[in-house]
Structure 1
Amino acid sequence: MMSAANIDWQAERDVLGSNRYMLENHVACDITFYVGKQRQEITAHKYVLVSRSSVFYAMLCGPLQETGQIDMPDIEPYVFQHLLRFMYCEEFEPNGESILALLYAAKKYAVERLVSMCVNWLKSGVTVENVCDMLQQAHSYGEKALLSKCLEFILDNGSSVLQHTSFRTLPSELVEMVVKQDGLCADENQIYEAMKDWAQNWCAQRNLQPNTENMRGVLSGLKNYIRFSLMDEEYFADKVAADDILTADEKVSLFRTFLCGDTLETTNIRHIARKSTFQSMQRVLRFSNQVSYMSVGSTLHAIELKCSEQVLLMGIIIYGATFQPYEARGVFASAQFASDIEVQVFDQSQRSIVSMKCHKTISEDKLQEILFNKPVVLMRSWYTITLHFAFSGTTVSGKHGEKVVSLGDGQFIAFRDSSLSTNSTNASNGQIPGLVICRRRSKINL
């Protein structure tokens, strides 16, 4: 016989409290699930399930409805209990061990409010230790917001994530998603080592020997996302070339890049720098002052330069407009002219690697930046920069330019005359007073 307390359990409870009591005490349950690999028995109420989930509605009320006992082998009992408590009484008690499994269950049974809560909790709790697992789950479930958050975290914390063992378990399509990003914050040497570790694990999972042939096959497409030309030359020669993951032609192409600055297009290897590889922008000025005036327009300004280290060339600097010394200036007068400007950068083989046209009002500002749409990596070889103004105007001319400008740390940029120049611009005088560059960050020690 029921006690008075049991008979009157509804009296002090609200709707959610009553639902919780019925679930926990198996009151009037009319559906049984056998959950997990061990087929643990869990009972529930059809009414609650069909009222909270379109999937359960189809299972229990549709033309092919399930009756009596339902097997649920792909969800662990504790996860299913979390799912039921949310459906019965809106309880959400996430933890790092069960949240991904709970997201899977919520997604499978279309409990969309719980899906949103899981995703939001995951986005706020991304760590180096769990981000690769989250990335896989987000990709599997098509959760674009969580996928974007995980990818953003990996890019910002690339060095740490690449060294974590969980990176080795990513499927190839997610590895490609990570390493192809220009914003991945990691040294190319470290990216290469992580890719080798990933390939070795891939082979081990398939009982393959991690030899040169198998490793090259596993990394055949993925290695094209590694920016080999941005590696330290000694590391490339001692480690990468010795591994034989690259073909002979690829090695020759890269050695020529290191030695001569050539960026041969006979391979699929990328030479574009990752944003995180370089520091913030800085100006490199070759004139300490300007002392004369010059007309610009129909002639071509050109200089040659060579860097002692790899730098990212972001753009060039030009002088602003000015009045002729004899020209009277009104109270509100200002010196300026509008011009179509063309800037080109050629490598030592005279191949154009930057070609940009823009229309700009050349104002009275002393120095003005012309930034490229797409920055370019300068290797340790000679390059030529040309500048052409489409319309005539009057501007300043630099004098007594520095042939070698120090960048600090023993590094420098050297300038010399160019045979392409058709006016007074050269290493000592004229236009193109400076460059806008980004220097490489310090190497990451592996």
Structure 2
Amino acid sequence: MTIQNITMPQLGESVTEGKIDSWLVKVGDKVNKYDPIAEVTTDKVNAEIPSSFTGIVKELIAIEGETLPVGAIVCSIEVEGAELQPAPVASDSNVSSAILNAGVQRQQPQPPVVVETPDKSERPKRAVGRFSPAVLLLASQNDIDLAHVQGTGLENRITRKDVEAYIAAGKPERQVAESSQLQVVEQPQLNESEKVSVPKVTPSRTESVLTASGDIEIPVTSVRKAIAKNMVRSSLEIPHAWMMMEVDVTELVEYRDRIKSEFKQKEGFNLTYFAFFLKAVSQALKEYPLINSVWAEDKIIQKKDINLSIAVATDDALFVPVIKNVDEKSIKGIAKEIHELSTIVRNGKLKMEHIQGGTFTVNNTGSFGSIQSMGIINYPQAAILQVESIVKKPVIVQGNMIAPRHIVNLCLSLDHRILDGLICGKFLSRVKELLENVDKQKMSVY
């Protein structure tokens, strides 16, 4: 037998550390190669660490909630001599799918073990599966049968939030009946109207707390902490400059309004204005490639591919998935990817492959009515563009006539170490030209 260490993997570009959210194993557990052993959070994504070996968990070196640098030892496993070949190591540019999918390459899990209870009454058999300690504790405290809980995590794994949502919704009648058969507890005499069983909810670390003064304390989630850390780094390290340009998109609005219903009926998803903006940005980036660069301390790397990061918000976090090679796609293709990525994010199915490789960020701040804003650059990119709300305004047109026109502000934050106002002004002017002359520029949807 040999003791082998498992280290914190690099879970994406520029990721230098990860936080152990929860252990999925305990000392003495038998694990197979590629089995998930811990849930981790980085400033890029939530993922699972797979076991690099088949063996017995010897020691959990890292504790839950601890943040460790890439390469730090998180646990040790006792393995047989034949099992010394480690699992593939994730690279900075291409993270192993074993880490992302937590099981695509590992051995297929065995069928759930069914445990018969001494009680002969008919009730569902409980399946034994892999659950985090936090999930097991919460389920135990509230007498929850996890076989009844629908998982929303990776590979339908049950998370703490799933259990809390299950408790908040109230147990199904069947499990309430089961609980009453499993426990015999003396109860005080109740009126008929009082004989209702309500599950006791144990406050969790994710719940808000009302203080004596009336203030509300809201715990900071690991995702919010990661966002905060990245934003602080960007604002401290990058000398931000900012400029704005007004664009008349009346022609674009009229064109999109003419075809949007037919497009939705034919394709099954919406043709948004944002798809046109991304296409115009990608074309302008081809003409001004320095803006499609990243900062690498002692050098500037001008990226060949044009991969646009777009912001997608959920109820409690903001994610930035990437549309690859946007310059090679039609507006229809871009609109389809916007729809698909937004659905993936909101369904909690985002993987590392969806957020890697971004070279420039476009943020659709106009979707919630903003007309002017200054974005914080998505480190280590060179710039971020905010597309604001399209607003109808009176504008002076040819012959000093006043006419209603559809106007949008494009707000660009730039890294002054890489870029200056001249090239950014030319870039924005080119985006403006493309958007204001949809027909002349032949920005065909297909």
Fold equivalence (TM over 0.5): no
**Greater C-alpha Rg:** 1
Structure that is richer in helix per residue: 1
TM-score with structure 1 length normalisation? 0.22
TM normalised by structure 2 equals 0.22
